[in-house]
Structure 1
Amino acid sequence: MTLIRSIIFLLYFIMLTLMMGVLAFIIRWFIPHYALAYAKCWTALSIFGLKWICHIQIDVQGLEKLPQDRPFLIASQHQSAFDTLVWMNILSRPAYIMKHELTRIPLLGPMLLLAGMIPIDRKGGSAALRKLTATAIEKAAQGFQIIIFPQGTRTSYGEHLPIQPGIALLAKETKLPIFPVITNSGLHWPKKGILKFRGTIYIRVGLPLSPTLPRKELLTTLQETWEKMEKQPF
């Protein structure tokens, strides 16, 4: 049943994305200020399909820690494509930091930019980081909450890769508090293959870290915080 449900969800997800991608031309041409709301609709329907077809539930813990009146940084583990969807409907004005290649995807790419996502050229070196921080400062001033995956790529559940230093520069320049986030999404939506395993995806928000921490200390503290949070049962 797992394989059958996974295939049905894949077909649902592809058809939903194609249909909404075509309809997105209306948003882009006539009402671009609705791009974020449209993106939220797509992610909400995607997650609805995940719950209904694959019997995967979502439990988000610690949302009360997030400020309601100012922007902030979410520093999340990244185990699954699910992580790139879920914050769209948790936060009021989410802005994911994403790889620049995604902006080239037909139909989807232009909408990502209109919705407020922040692309980064991972091969662009220091110039790309400067552009990233400038855009992030602008988004924060507009009230966006910024989501970054500091390890830079998807990992398997329980796997730890080095945290990239970009998160420290971003925190320093934006002066936003950093909220560490852990998840077990890789157990139910693995980074490879099409299988989706029934159960509950947990997301846990930790206490904020100060953006004034020195770079090395911030990276170490974030990693240690993730590890401490992982030891606590969901």
Structure 2
Amino acid sequence: MPASPLLGLRALLFNVLFYLWTAVTCLVVLPAFPLLSPAGMRRVARFWERGILVLLKVVVGLDYEVRGREHLPREPVIIASKHQSAWETLVFHVLVPELAVGLKEELTRIPVFGWYLMRAQNIRIDRGAAAKAIRSLVEGAKAATANGLSVLIFPEGTRRAPDDPPDYKPGVAALYAALKLPVVPVALNSGLFWRRRGFLKYPGRVVVEFLEPIPPGLDRKIFMQILEERIETATARLVAEGRRSGT
């Protein structure tokens, strides 16, 4: 979709309102912070994320659709999502309310906002040596699932554009082996609308699809093959669908 001055103005307005909404939410909640339980903090997170979704719909014209909710069991699972955009980092507590997210350690150091992230029982990942990062992820995930939370991981570790080749990292396999829980793959096409490191946000409809769970206990190599095949096949279908719709 070609850029236009109106797209730039909408993106600028969204950014201003996003930071204003975030600042107001943080300040309003701050006096109650010492009394907030982790579950209460997750309710705040969902409230904040719903506000962001409203801003995206009203200011940018970007809505979303969720498919495959029947693949989400009531019990804790590992949710392994494709990662194309900042969009999915801002909405997953709305999609899966009782959720712990693996976070870069530097995010948890942000004053006030970082306190909120950790009070919600998210997982701080030490991004030093690879072994240390995986160990911190697994330890945090074990604590989260013991408290009844599902765990969100982006298997490629960072955002990748819709046409980039896949690059799955070993962290998801380590979680799968350690937690012995089903893995629910997630496909999406958010990168068509909010591009990696992109300022512009395009109107349209992001589609998020929860796919058939992968049962625990598979061989590591087989698990990784199934995970990548399911996510990449469904993501390619959703990206093609988004492009046919005029994105």
* Length-normalised TM-score, structure 1: 0.94
Q: Render the CA deviation track for 1:158-193: whole Å, top value 9, x for unaligned.
A: 323321111011011111111111111011111213
Query: Aligned letter for 1:45?
Result: G
Within 5 Å, give how 1:59-208 maps onto structure 2: 59-68=65-74, 70-208=75-213
Report SS of the residue matched to 1:138: helix
- The answer to whether structure 1 residue 45 and structure 2 residue 54 are counterparts is no
Equivalent residue pairs, number: 233
Which residue number corresponds to residue 230 of structure 1? Answer: 235
Report SS of the residue matched to 2:162: coil
Which residue number corresponds to residue 6 of structure 1? Answer: 11
C-alpha separation in 1, matches of 2:150 and 2:172: 14
C-alpha separation in 2, matches of 1:41 and 1:230: 28
Q: Compute the displacement of 1:231 (Å).
A: 4.5
Query: Aligned letter for 2:76?
Result: P
Which residue number corresponds to residue 226 of structure 2? Answer: 221
C-alpha separation in 2, matches of 1:115 and 1:150: 22
* Length-normalised TM-score, structure 2: 0.89
Q: Render the CA deviation track for 1:36-65: whole Å, top value 9, x for unaligned.
A: 111111111111111111111101110111
User: In 2, are the aligned partners of 1:56 and 1:197 still within 8 Å (CA)?
Assistant: yes
Report SS of the residue matched to 1:158: coil
Report SS of the residue matched to 2:34: helix
Show structure 1 runs of 4+ deviating over 6 A: none
Q: Compute the displacement of 1:90 (Å).
A: 1.4
User: In 2, are the aligned partners of 1:165 and 1:215 still within 8 Å (CA)?
Assistant: no
Report SS of the residue matched to 1:202: strand
Which residue number corresponds to residue 19 of structure 1? Answer: 24
Query: Aligned letter for 1:162?
Result: D
Q: Compute the displacement of 1:30 (Å).
A: 2.9
User: In 1, are the aligned partners of 2:82 and 2:188 still within 8 Å (CA)?
Assistant: yes
Q: 1:137 to 1:35 in 2, by over 3 A?
A: same
Q: Compute the displacement of 1:2 (Å).
A: 1.1
Give the % identical residues. Answer: 33
Query: Aligned letter for 2:13?
Result: I
Gaps of 5+ in 2: 1-5, 242-247
C-alpha separation in 1, matches of 2:212 and 2:110: 36
C-alpha separation in 1, matches of 2:236 and 2:136: 37
Alignment RMSD (CA, Å): 1.5
